[in-house]
Amino acid sequence: MADPMRIRARAADGVIDARVLMAHEMETGTRKDASGKIVPAWFIQEVTCQVNGKTVMSAQWGPAVSKNPFLQFKARGKAGDKVTVTWVDNRGEKRTDEASVG
Amino acid sequence: MNVSRRTVVKAGGGAALYSALASIGFFAANPAMAAWKKDWFDAKNVPDTLKAMGIAGTPAAGDITITSPDIAENGAVVPVGIASKLQKTEMIALLVEKNPAMMAGFYEFASDSLPDVSMRVKMGQSSDVIAIVKADGKFFMAKKEIKVTLGGCGG
């Protein structure tokens, strides 16, 4: 199981500003290791962001997203709302984390 | 998790085999994976990417803001933010022109959400980043050049 995400969300004037830091290698599949073998691609392909269970934004990523991806998004909402973020990588592994808006 | 798939991936060990299997729909059994728009991410240049996305011609310039440094010291982590002020923005895509595969990612928004995202991407070399926004069924784009001092593709 992958490490948990760090989610920080704050609301101001009815807008939630959420910052998510995911722990993932994000291998591109073009890099070679020390022995010259290609490191297989391993990256997050899909990210879904929900506020109070309703999907506000869904993303698909390629291998060009940096290692330990950072994502910031905005949504309508208020303090106390629940922000849920889910990712799925190209190996089919997934992780979901939740945070309440402060 | 599909056991036979795991074995194949392990046995093959190579990205070539992996992508070859992916291209013939070997992973189609996994619904989450089938939805991933491989053709969007495989496109190698601007016209191909636009074509894969189903855009005819060059999108018009729109009210799109790209926030990023003009010079990025480390190409492995280039912060890029895209915000659209266009009404009914449905999708924002980020392309890095000179990366091996241009499409870095795209974001789809629910009808009443706010189209404003930031992320960090890898850039192999100095290049234009292109934001493509779909709003009310039409496509718009914006461009910004980012100079990279140290490439981020490793190797």
- Please tell me the predicted confidence (pLDDT) of residue B2: 56
Is the minimum CB–CB distance between B117 and chain A shorter than 8 Å? yes
Strands, sheet with A15-21, edge to edge from the N-terminal-most edge strand: A6-12, A15-21, A70-76, B114-121, B78-84, B64-67
Asked whether the beta carbons of B122 and B75 are under 8 A apart, the reply is: yes
Q: Is residue B114 very low, low, confident or very high in pLDDT (cuts 50, 70, 90)?
A: confident
Among the partner residues A40, A59, A90, nearest to B105 by beta-carbon distance: A59
Residue A43 domain boundaries: 6-100
Cβ <8 Å between A66 and B122: yes
Domain ranges of chain B: 3-34, 44-150
Q: How far A64 CA sits from the closest chain B CA (Å)?
A: 5
Confidence bin at B6 (pLDDT 50/70/90): low
Contacts of A67 in chain B (CB under 8 A): 76-77
Tell me which of B150 and B130 has the higher pLDDT. Answer: B130
ipTM score: 0.83
A5: which DSSP letter? P
Query: What residues in chain A have per-residue pLDDT under 50?
Result: none
Specify if A1 maps to a domain: no
What CATH number has the domain bearing residue A75? Answer: 2.60.40.10
pLDDT given at position B29: 41
Neighbouring residues of B73: CB distance < 8 A, sequence distance ≥ 6: B149, B150
The pLDDT value given to residue B37? 80
Q: Are B139 and B64 in contact (CB under 8 A)?
A: no
Please say whether the beta carbons of B14 and A40 come within 8 A.
yes
Of the candidates B131, B92, B141, B143, which has an alpha carbon nearest to the alpha carbon of residue B113?
Answer: B92
Q: Among all chains, which residue has been given the structure tokens 């189609």? A: B28
Region of poorest pLDDT, from A82-91, B13-22, B33-42, B63-72: B13-22
Report pLDDT for A47: 92
Instruction: Check CB contact under 8 Å for B103 and A64.
Output: yes
pLDDT, tens digit (0-9, with 9 covering 90-100), for B49-106: 888 888 877 778 888 889 998 888 888 889 899 999 888 888 899 988 888 888 888 8
| Nearest Cβ partner for A69 among B14, B16, B120 | B120
Q: Does B105 touch chain A (CB under 8 A)?
A: yes
H/E segment holding residue B16: helix B15-23
Mode of pairing for the β-strands spanning A94-100 and A82-89: antiparallel
Answer for the pair B80, B129: CB distance below 8 angstroms, yes or no.
yes
Q: Between B73 and B23, whose confidence is greater?
A: B73
Number of domains in chain A: 1
- Cβ pair B32:A46 closer than 8 A: yes
Per-residue DSSP letter, B58: P
Mean residue pLDDT across chain B: 76
Task: Indicate the class that CATH gives domain B44-150.
Answer: mainly beta
Contact (CB<8Å) A40/B18: yes
Q: Closest chain A residue to B30 measured between Cα atoms? A: A92
